[in-house]
Homo-oligomer: A and B are copies of this chain.
């Protein structure tokens, strides 16, 4: 059995889905239902449900981050990397379970330290990711940064976050394409590069949650 003991991994996925659906106020029964077991079974593995939720969210963030790292790992062109990373950081629609999970947490972080720490760490890692891309673009001569790369990176992540929330709220005048354009508009200005719109292929393939 794997390091998450097999069964736990199932519960974590169930918790993710249940929490994406019901938010931080998710019920034990709802998690159990998602996992296809009774609440007692969940309790057997996680006597404290808090822990399960934390594990679920940690795993969700990990995947959100890893997915993008993986997507750009094959790319060599900093321009492509930057555009792809931005395109993958914005939810395509309000159905996106990963971002929905993150949004649920955002509000809770103000009063739950663990979630605050998780989100903080995710933000910092994303900033690092963008910063590396920006810096590599400077080295390659593609980018001429108008500001410190950390400033740009922080603002890029912030924009992604904010537009994620808007898309989750089904903002009528702010769909995926618009959000990406808005972020790219900033990125273009900051990098002095006429970044192309993301290719259509990007993020069409989403791993099934089974």
- Size of the A side of the interface (Cβ < 8 Å), in residues, is 48
- A residues contacting B by CB (< 8 A) are 21-25, 94, 100, 103-111, 115-116, 119-120, 123-124, 146-147, 151, 154-155, 157-159, 161-163, 165-166, 168-174, 182-183, 185-186, 189-190
In whole angstroms, how far apart are the Cα atoms of A119 and B165 in the complex?
A: 10
Q: Contacting A107 at CB < 8 Å: which of B104, B147, B155, B182? A: B104
Number of this chain's copies in the assembly equals: 2
Given A107-B108, A189-B189, verify A171-B23 contact (CB < 8 Å).
no
> Taking the nearest CB of chain B, how far is it from the CB of A184, in angstroms?
10
Known contacts A154-B174, A159-B162; 17 additional CB pairs below 8 A are: A22-B111, A23-B108, A23-B110, A103-B107, A103-B110, A105-B107, A106-B106, A116-B169, A119-B169, A151-B182, A155-B159, A155-B182, A155-B185, A158-B158, A158-B159, A158-B182, A161-B162
Contacts of A23 in B (CB 8 A): 24, 107-108, 110-111
Interface of A (DSSP majority class):
helix
- Are A104 and B110 in touch, CB under 8 angstroms? yes
Contacts of A189 in B (CB 8 A): 146-147, 189-190
Q: Contacting A169 at CB < 8 Å: which of B22, B120, B162? A: B120
- Are B158 and A106 in touch, CB under 8 angstroms? no
- Are B111 and A165 in touch, CB under 8 angstroms? no
Can you name the residue of chain B whose Cβ is closest to the Cβ of A165? B106
> Taking the nearest CB of chain B, how far is it from the CB of A182, in angstroms?
6
Contacts of A108 in B (CB 8 A): 23, 107
Contacts of A104 in B (CB 8 A): 107, 110
- 10 residue pairs bridging A and B, Cβ less than 8 Å apart: A23-B24, A23-B108, A24-B25, A94-B110, A106-B106, A119-B169, A147-B189, A158-B163, A161-B162, A162-B162
Q: Contacting A159 at CB < 8 Å: which of B94, B106, B107, B159? A: B159
